[in-house]
Structure 1
Amino acid sequence: MRPITDDEFEHLLTDFGCEAIHLETRDAYGTAVELPYMAKWAAGEPDDLEWLQGWCTTLYGHIAAGRSVRRARIVSEPLSEYQRWSYSIAQPMVDAGEDIRWVPRRLVSSVAIPGNDFYLFDGELAVFLHYAGNGLGTGKTVTNDPADIELCRGAFEAVWKLAIPHRDYKPL
């Protein structure tokens, strides 16, 4: 594994061949981009979600080109404040073509899951996302090691089988 820069990661998010899958396992994150919008939501202030439009435009492009983008979120219930907010802003991404699904953590007790969230691009390249205890990102590493790829693919597909599509998930 080697570290990957934010610019390299952004390139992967926009330039994969046919499939990007993403497994999220944490109840809270704290990205610099998201925190101000989550704070507005917590204060009951409106958010036009304009800040999501760049990602949604990217998603529309992927779908138009025949590429697949899937995200599975393993969540504790009742949902954390972060996950309640995340649920509240997911619909534009779903409308843009990202298949987002939710799985209650209690359902994945017997699923082998990597120690870090990850993206898997085209079944060939895994990017592990590293976080501090408070949810702030601390870095990313990339690998094409076949054992890592198999672990990620197997974990994602096992979780996916248990996951509930966004339109059907009712947060607790």
Structure 2
Amino acid sequence: MVSTPVTEYAKFEYAGTPANVRSGESVRWLPRAHARELLLPAIDFWVLDGQRLLLHYFDGDGGWLGHEFSEAPDLVKVYVDAFESLWERGIPHEDFTV
């Protein structure tokens, strides 16, 4: 998800994304306004192989506090379902402009 208008950091990430796409990564961008009716986890996360979570913790100013892994099936399912709801609405990188 990305705030719009995008921040300078999001522009930086966007500019570097073609290299990820060329390496085979699928990247989509979802403006926050397109997700307003979805119930989403409050914690930044990565889903790894559909069976493991990497949860990232940040302070109120965006400073990174740390992370933790979880393989708890019920928790993984919540995050997998959230990711899938976001992914289907996301705009492929090649169709998104900043």
- The TM-score, its normalising length taken from structure 2, stands at 0.92
Superposition pairs for residues 9-158 of structure 1, below 5 Å? Answer: 74-158=1-85
Equivalent residue, structure 1, for 2:95: 168
Query: Which aligned segments of 4 or more residues in structure 1 are displaced greater than 3 angstroms?
Result: none
For 2:23, give the aligned amino acid: A
Task: For residue 119 of structure 1, give the secondary structure of its aligned residue in structure 2.
Answer: strand
Count of residue correspondences = 98
Q: CA RMSD in A?
A: 1.1
Q: Which ranges in structure 1 are unaligned for 5 or more consecutive residues?
A: 1-73
Shift of 1:159: 0.3
Distance 1:144 1:170 in 2: 36
Identity of paired residues, percent? 31
Shift of 1:134: 3.3
Q: Which ranges in structure 2 are unaligned for 5 or more consecutive residues?
A: none
Task: For residue 6 of structure 2, give the secondary structure of its aligned residue in structure 1.
Answer: coil
- The TM-score, its normalising length taken from structure 1, stands at 0.54
Distance 1:133 1:90 in 2: 27
